[in-house]
Amino acid sequence: MTTEYETHGKLGTGKILKKENGSRTVSLHFHCGKHIEADSHLVDLQLTQCTGLKEAVNKACHALGFLPLFTLENIQGPKALVAHYKRPGKPGEGYATIVKKGIKPLRFALSRIDLTKMGATTPEEALRKTAFQTGTIRLLPTTA
């Protein structure tokens, strides 16, 4: 692993580490003794109000004292593999990725799921249906 970026702030020290396969990991050591190590795709950039990983690490070490992360739930079904990234304590917020053999992975915000067309009451139920029954997801159009 090589260090791609490093910062030392009043609240902690942060690093972005790059693995040989190209994936990135965030490692934070806060002065209060707390340590966080997570893959870069788990960092909640929207909640930190940052546009990039470097900015989020800076903000965590210099201003926030914490780094918001998504929790990941992988749903492996016969129709698709669904990665569900959710915000702890905030149901329905986050994003998902659907992977099917021979098709480019699809990534979208949970708020875009058309629950009515999916016949589901929650985004989690719609994602499970995608993985185990349909292999497809119905999305609302994006607003530009």
- Is 70 exceeded by the pLDDT of residue 144? no
Q: What's the rounded Cα separation, in Å, for the pair 108 and 137?
A: 10
Q: Stretch 129-141: mean pLDDT, rounded? A: 94
pLDDT confidence of residue 80: 96
Q: What is 67-131 written as a DSSP string?
A: --B-EEEEEE-SS-EEEEEEETTEEEEEEEEEEETTEEEEEEEGGGB-HHHHT-SSHHHHHHHII
Q: What's the rounded Cα separation, in Å, for the pair 54 and 14?
A: 9
Give the range among 13-17, 58-62, 85-89, 113-117 with minimum mean pLDDT.
85-89
> Residue 54 corresponds to which amino acid?
K
pLDDT confidence of residue 76: 96
pLDDT tens-digit readout, 30-74: 998 999 999 999 999 999 999 999 999 999 999 999 999 999 999
Is the pTM higher than 0.85?
no
State the residue for tokens 């965030």: 26
pLDDT confidence of residue 89: 83
pLDDT tens-digit readout, 99-130: 998 899 999 999 999 999 999 999 999 999 99
What is the rounded (10 degree) CA torsion for 117, 119, 125, 129? -80
Q: What's the rounded Cα separation, in Å, for the pair 56 and 34?
A: 17
